[in-house]
Structure 1
Amino acid sequence: MTTTFWDTMNHTFDPGNLYGDDRSRGSLAIMLIATIFGMFFTATLISIINNGLEARMDALSKGHSKVLEKGHTIVLGFSEITYAILAELIRANENQSVQTIVVMDMKIDIDVMEEKIQQHMNRFIASLPAAEQKAARRHTRIVCRSGHIYSLDDLSMCSIETCSSVIVNSIDDSHTLKAIMACASVFEKLYDKAAPGTKVPHITAMVMKRENQDAAIVAGGKYLELVCYEDLMSRIIASSSRYPGLSYVYTEIFNYAGQEFYCVKKDDIPLGSRMNTDMTLYDLNQLLPSSIAVGGIDADTEHEVSISEKLSDPFAGKKSCLAPTMDDIRVRDLEFLYLIEEDDNSIAVLPQAPEIHLKAPKERAAAKSPVHYAIVGCGPLILTVLERLSSFLAPGTRVTIIGDGGEEQTTREKQQAYGKAGGELHIKVESARLDRYHDLYEAIPADATSIMVLSDAPTGEDQALADKEMRPVEDVIDERTLSRLVFLRQIREDRKINFSITCEINLDRNRRLAEYTGAEDYIVGSRVTALIMTQIAQTRELHRLFAELMDPFGTEIYFRRVGDFMDVSAPEGITLFEAAAALQKQNEVFIGYSRLISQDSGRKRYEIPVLNPPKYERCGNGGAPIRCHFRPDDRFVVLSSNSYS
């Protein structure tokens, strides 16, 4: 019986065994049937295996296979902002073990997405110093997947259950809201199953319009940290128009290159027994030679609040976390500290604070002349920019808005809308052809002190041209912005008007193009947004700091004239510890300086701001504070809650 079964199986799987088989006709007939069945069975089996392999290869090629990773970062949505996000994550991973980033979107072919990302990242890595390029390539792995950013099945394909954080990067607010809802539902289940104290992933998302913030907050609940593009960009543009050069400071502290914000445990600062004294943050800064403490949070900084409380007050249940508004809190009462320092630097502490010798300023700056702001273009940010300007400009300050053409009725409607947004500012709306030099020349006020160029909203014609030429629609809009920027430079030269220019740019490559021929402030929306979202995705606690820094009624970054705070005429110069002490008297935190380069026809030009400059130098086994020589019109970069200029 066993032999018969074995022979049958041999004939089933190997038809060649039938040849030369010495059996009875009945046995041969049975073996022939077994052989024919075996041929069909083997063919079917091979077909099943082949189809399975083809389906698997097809899934891999189309980006539908599951990502088998833990602790990775997921980026949902592919746009121009994605490149900046990936670049910052690569920088952040340079001193880490190998980290994986998963990018998922449905609106672009997976092969095209992979090719574009590879091209941009290769260019970015090539731009890094040679010492960093090897680490950048080795420590980050980018995986692309094709799927809907709000599909639970597609999110599962990205292993969302085991990720460290999710960045929602869609430029469509409706898709963003759905993606937040999907991610939050997954994290809610993880939270219910997790042991007490287990860290659950969080969501960092951006909504383009302020009107969609509330819906996003409700959808994301406690798992969401939200950035509003309108509010963020309006705040930075308005502030930079007031202090030329401030856009560089924002970009520097928001990214991972150079000086940046860190949230560190108090115990990681080697203070020893001094930790238990009445030391304030200002006292601590007198002991830090290579970093600056700007604030901190304690265990009771936040308590659980309801969604309705969050909607009515974004800061509900939270205390101030920045030094100028922390009511003289002691270091011993804090759990975490916010520091400005350079990546990979250990936190050094001096054994004792240097001696401070302060002299009162000999003369203060003359009273400032009235300011007159002009805004060229009525883009999507115009209303929020006016709201921001009204929060710090004196009532009655003149603001002229120059729109591109339009009928008289439209101009009157704009006058009403802009007047309401500008509060007590004196708003005037002018109409001009912004693509014609002479029209713009006539529209610019003769006494303008600061001009903002706002990016236009995309039109159907813009999108059609972008599709035809296969480039982002933002690039088409930037062309008009750059044209207006060139006109303004020429107008400033022809009319001898001393005004500063702050320009909103959509794409970073166009910002680099504009910088070749001018030293204006360029605010690149995609880049700034990407920098902040990446920082929050990596360190959730930083959202609290950024939110307060961007709040019009909280602590902000300012430039202060050096001569208004101290006498700098001594030939030996001053130490930066003394600069910090002089600013402390006004409840302000020193974070850097910017030197005056030249002053032509009343227009002052400054060096690029230096943030967190070294304050101490080594001399053998000892050390000494570094002495700097300033002029009265040089500027300190400070954190302050005082809005005076």
Structure 2
Amino acid sequence: MSKGGLSVFLALLSLFFGTFVVMTIVRYISELLFPNKDIESSSELYWEVFVQLIGLRDTGDNANLATKIIGVVTIFLGLVLFSSLVAFITQEFESRLQILRQGQSPVIEENHTLILGFTDRVIDIIQELVVGNESEPDAVVVILSKQEKEEMDNFLRNNLGELKTTRVVTRNGSITNLNELNKVGIKVAKSVIILNDAKTSDPDEVKTLADARVVKAVLAVLAANEEDSLPSIVVELHSHQYRRLAENIAPGAVTTLNEADILARILVQTSRSVGLAAVYLNLVGFEGNEFYFYRPEKGWYSVNFGELPFHFSNGIPVGLRHANATLTIKPSKDYQLLESDEVIILAEDDSSIQFHSQPVVQPNNFNYGDCCKTLERKPEKHLIIGWNGKTPITLSEYAKYLISGSEVNLVVQDLTSQVKAEFDIIAESYSDIKMDALQVNLDSVEQLLRLKPYEYNSISILAGRGENSEEIDAKTLTILLELRQIFREYTAETKNQVTTELIAEIIDSQDTDLVIKAGVKDFILTNQFVSKILAQVSQEPSVMSIYEDLFSIDGSELYIKPISLYFSSKELGRLTFADCVKAAQERDELCLGVKISALAQNKNQNFGIDLVPSLDKPLNLTFDDALITLAEDET
């Protein structure tokens, strides 16, 4: 028994057949001394002993006494041995099932996406991968986590929709254990996503410990693979120090992502341009439009970047990847493409991307110069409610974008000395922007009224602390509803329409419908934004550089600009999307789509956002509508 299950099985089997031999000999001797008339040959004797031993036949009424005694002994021995053998097989079978239920068995898949860790973010990641894997007949996502397999399976079953061509396999184990990593096929995985189990709102010591575990997991993944056969590794880290460590462990193989940094930058941009959040949701991830790298087999036929959009029937080029792997977003329209250049193109699917040697659409010959205008930059006033890891970045980003005389205020439930000190450092660094930090009881309507929230251009409600995403979102939605009620009462009393934009940081993406019904035109979905990026970068690491450029104040950013900057009223009725692309080029901008203001509240119509329509699509635009462009600034 100490040698394990196989030895026990062989021992029981040996005892059974040994007993069969012994009882056959005894019965044979008995037949010689006291023969039964029913037994005519030795083969019948063997068969009768065997079936008695396994309990399928008794001794029979016509047998003599000696035969009956030997038959009873045979049946008793068979009852003990055969039952033990059947019980052992049953126990081993149940043990194997238990191992499967506990997620201890090896994964036999190859070329799969491996997710290390299990957080609320995993649902959005899998949903994105399901969309991205639609063209694959049998895609697999494997999850390794310390959580029980049954618990993970139940969570996924209750929260995931249709998986289409993707299968999800869960395993229980440590994400830093080499044996556990080998068990989930780390050496044959296509890509690895390492999740961070600390939220942005957690204390610094919790985030530091979680970052350390993620870096340890990176080391384990590298140790389990050969250096020249590493999968693409995408990790989520909070600390700049740990991000630097992770990237330096295996330069080029590890891509790091900081939730707070990305979302803070998106928050600032979306608060200053209504509808931009819906654009970002359409850009990141696999659903909707995404970025691809494309180079035709027959070359670029000496076209420049300004001519390039009109050579694609589907998709808009936004930049280039050069032979040295560097990226250029929105190069000069006069840039002559080299044969080694790859185009970064925004399209709905890579199968629809095709370069034509001749233009497929010619824009109308409007006199764009007569109607081109610029927007006057004015001082802005923004309010941030709540303090978490995104708040310092958000304050700094606002200060970089805004002109002198603008105002950015912070409101928190508890203005601690640590928060005040960090806020003062940022305020002193941008002395031309007025910044005040206030302590306000966010549960008090009277104190919220004293802030005069209707005077702000935007109010951003950042997620606070809580036991889980449901509790955090409940607090955010409470503040959101209070502000909406204040706006309604102000409008009823003064007859003045409130133009303040509300942006709520929502942890659980399933709460978005609640936000829409509360009247928010622009909102942030933490899990969706970051999870979409994690999923897409895991399949194409180079996409991360594109996002970093778009989310940064340096270079070009996304803006939603009024149509009046590009066309006169007499031209609006006969426009195609190709005309919009050409008009944006005349302002040294790159047009990615249009925003229809009449559909801004319609979720089924993507909140009026139409990205990358066909170049020949006719557009019935009004002066209330806008173009979505990639530009140097908002003017």
* 2:238 aligned with 1:247: no
Stretch deviating more after TM superposition (202-211 or 290-299): 202-211
User: 1:455: which partner in 2?
Assistant: 463
1:577-606: per-residue Cα shift (whole Å, max 9, x none)? 22212211332211001133399xxxxxx9
C-alpha distance in 2 between matches for 1:411 and 1:207: 22
2:317 aligns with 293
Asked if the contact 1:378/1:454 (under 8 Å) is kept, the reply is yes
Given the alignment of the two structures, is residue 92 of structure 1 paired with residue 100 of structure 2, yes or no? no
Distance 1:523 1:289, change over 3 A: same
Counterpart of 2:561?
560
1:384 aligned to 2:375?
Answer: no
Judge conservation of contact 1:254–1:531 (CA < 8 Å) in 2.
Answer: yes
Give the conservation status (yes or no) of the 8 Å contact 2:537–2:543. Answer: yes
Alignment correspondent of 2:265: 235
Please state whether the residue corresponding to 2:559 is helix, strand or coil: strand
Equivalent residue number for residue 643 of structure 1 = 633
| 1:598–1:363 CA distance, 2 compared to 1 (3 A) | farther
Aligned residue type for 2:479: R
Deviations 1:451-491 (A, max 9, x none): 111111x2xxx33xxxxxxxxx1210111110111111122
What are the equivalent positions in structure 2 for 1:521-540 lying under 5 Å apart? 521-540=522-541
Who wins on radius of gyration, i.e. which is larger? 2
* Residue 286 (structure 1) shift: 1.6
Assess, with a 3 A threshold, how the Cα gap between structure 1 residues 422 and 141 changes in structure 2: closer, same or farther: farther
Unmatched tracts of structure 1, length 5 or more: 1-6, 25-34, 126-135, 195-199, 302-318, 464-472, 600-605, 617-625
Looking at structure 2, the residues matched to 103 and 8 of structure 1 have their Cα atoms a distance apart, in angstroms, of 44
Q: Tell me by how many angstroms 1:86 deviates.
A: 0.7
Alignment of 1:153-172 (within 5 A): 153-171=179-197, 172=210
Which residue of 175, 194, 217 maps to 1:149?
A: 175
Q: CA deviation at 1:69?
A: 1.0
Q: Distance in 1 between matches of 2:395 and 2:530?
A: 20
**1:552-581 CA deviation, whole Å, 9 max, x = no partner?**
313321112222233342365223222212
SS at 1:563's partner residue? helix
State the Cα distance separating 1:411 from its structure 2 match.
Answer: 7.2
Pick one of 492, 499, 505 that aligns with 2:487.
492
Q: 2:29 aligns to what?
A: 22
Q: Is the 8 A contact 2:445 2:482 kept in 1?
A: yes
1:110 is matched with 149
| Deviations 1:195-232 (CA, angstroms, capped at 9, x unpaired) | xxxxx411011113444322222334331111111111
Q: Contact (CA 8 Å) 1:295, 1:339: kept in 2 or not?
A: yes
Of the structure 1 ranges 606-615 and 524-533, higher mean CA displacement relative to structure 2 is found in: 606-615
Paired position in structure 2 for 1:257? 287
Instruction: Provide TM-score, normalisation by structure 1.
Output: 0.79
Structure 2 portions without partners, runs of 5+: 1-13, 33-73, 198-209, 491-495, 601-605
1:475 match = 470
Offset of residue 13 of structure 1: 5.1
Question: Could you say if the C-alpha distance between residues 493 and 11 of structure 1 is closer, same or farther in structure 2, counting changes exceeding 3 Å?
Answer: closer
2:66 counterpart of 1:66: no
- Shift of the 40–494 alpha-carbon distance from structure 1 to 2, 3 Å rule, reads closer
Instruction: State percent identity of aligned pairs.
Output: 21
- The amino acid across from 2:451 in the alignment is A
| 1:388, distance to aligned residue in structure 2 (A) | 1.5
Number of equivalences: 555
For 2:318, give the aligned amino acid.
V
1:197 is aligned to none
1: CA distance between counterparts of 2:564 and 2:391? 35
Three-state SS of the structure 1 residue aligned to 2:523 is strand
Deviation at residue 157 of structure 1 after TM alignment: 0.7
**Equivalence for 2:204:** none
Q: Which residue identity lines up with residue 584 of structure 2 in the other structure?
A: L
Determine if contact 2:274/2:501 at 8 Å carries over to the other structure.
yes
Kept in 2, the 8 Å contact 1:402–1:443? The answer is no
RMSD, aligned α-carbons: 3.2
**Equivalent AA in structure 1 for residue 406 of structure 2:** T
Confirm or deny that 1:173 pairs with 2:211: yes
Q: Which residue of 2 aligns with 1:585?
A: 586
- Structure 2 matches for 1:382-531, cutoff 5 A? 382-406=391-415, 412-413=420-421, 415-420=423-428, 424-444=432-452, 447-456=455-464, 458=465, 462-463=466-467, 473-495=468-490, 496=496, 497-531=498-532
Letter in 2 for 1:506: I
TM-score when scaled to structure 2?
0.80
* Gap change, CA 1:102 and 1:446, over 3 Å in 2: closer
How far residue 610 of structure 1 moved from its aligned partner, in angstroms, is 0.9
Q: 1:412 deviation in Å?
A: 4.8
Q: State the secondary structure of the residue aligned to 1:429.
A: strand
Structure 1 residues 410 and 92: CA distance shift in structure 2, 3 A? closer
With over 3 angstroms needed to count, the CA separation of the structure-2 counterparts of 1:571 and 1:207, relative to structure 1, is: closer
3-state secondary structure, aligned to 2:448: helix
CA drift at 1:51 = 6.2
The change in CA–CA distance for 1:423 and 1:238 in structure 2 (over 3 A counts) is farther
- d(CA) in 1 for partners of 2:188, 2:419: 54
Structure 1 residue identity aligned to 2:221 = C
In structure 2, do the counterparts of structure 1 residues 415 and 10 end up closer, same or farther at CA, with 3 Å as the change threshold? closer
The Cα offsets for residues 63-99 of structure 1, whole Å up to 9 and x where unpaired, read as 0110001111111111110000111111111121101
Question: What is the distance in 2 between the residues matched to 1:543 and 1:152?
Answer: 28
